Amino acid sequence: MAKPRVALQMYTVRDEAQKDFAGTLKAVAEMGYPAVQPAGTGGLAARDLKRLLDDLGLAVAGSHVNLEALESQPDQEISYWLEVGTPDVVVPAIPQARRTRDGFKGVAESMNRIGARCKALGARLSYHNHAFEFEKLDGEYALDLLLGWCDPDLVKWEPDVYWIQFGGEDPARLIRKYSGRCPLVHLKDMTADASRTFAEVGEGILDWPAIFAASEAGGAEWYIVEQDRWARPSLEAAALSLKHLKQWGKL
């Protein structure tokens, strides 16, 4: 089995990308990332974004697309990212108002429809977690309810290991539980202090050997570095995470 490829979620360096979208992608490529997961399009048409990424030698590891956009114009959103060069479309979160048992069930039904449309067009749908999915509804995690209501053939899961840890669960255990359903894995570390805030991959407390073993046993295709906030400049943070991944033989 091929080892997962490595990418950077561009949300990590959003402060730089807001100032210079193309220049930030160039900086990410030059530091050694072979792929990105875009956070926005820079206002570019799909063919122009693809040309920019191709010119920089960057592959695409999926893209996050708001649930509301996928519900209102699925073909347009899916086709855009297929043209850019990725089959992976990821729902990044569920709106606050829909985070009830009935709301999660409705979202699952909606994602099954979107997932079927993705499959018909040659794409693949996943769901990305935060910590709110580890609140219990009638004794079960909302995440387990949601993924249980979703057809595993139509809706995959992009586990965010930081948020799993923050929610009080073991990332490796849950990745094993949903083995075969996690093609994309978000890598994000946690500081050891009481704040439990975000850290560069390898600079915190997460059990990376266990996470990598579970991910690779389950057929993960992408490791995607993401850091929501940083104590150092964002490009330096992204480079430090990449340095550790290289040291560990992941790139």
Match 């946690």 to its residue by tokens. 190
The CATH code of the domain that includes 203 is 3.20.20.150
Do 88 and 115 meet the contact criterion of CB atoms below 8 Å apart? no
The per-residue pLDDT for 134 is 97
Label residue 214 exposed, middle or buried (CB < 10 Å: 0-12, 13-18, 19+).
buried
Which stretches of the chain score pLDDT less than 70?
A: 1
Residues 6+ positions from 131 with CB-CB distance below 8 Å: 163, 166, 167
Q: Residues 6 or more apart from 132 whose CB is under 8 A from it? A: 94, 99, 142, 167
For residue 101, give its domain range. Answer: 5-247
Position 2 scores a pLDDT of 80
Which pLDDT score, from 0 to 100, does residue 1 have? 66
End-to-end CA distance of the chain: 15
CB proximity list for 162: less than 8 A, separation 6 or greater: 186, 188, 189, 190, 198, 206
pLDDT at 16: 98
Residue 183 near residue 209, CB atoms below 8 Å: no
For the chain, how many structural domains are there in total?
1
CB 108 within 8 A of CB 152: no
pTM of the model: 0.97
Residue 50: C-alpha distances to residues 34, 53, 54, 126, 226 (Å):
14, 5, 6, 22, 22
Query: Which of 12, 15, 8 has its CA nearest to residue 37?
Result: 8
- Between CA 123 and CA 115 the distance in angstroms is 8
> Rounded CA gap, 50 and 60, in Å?
9
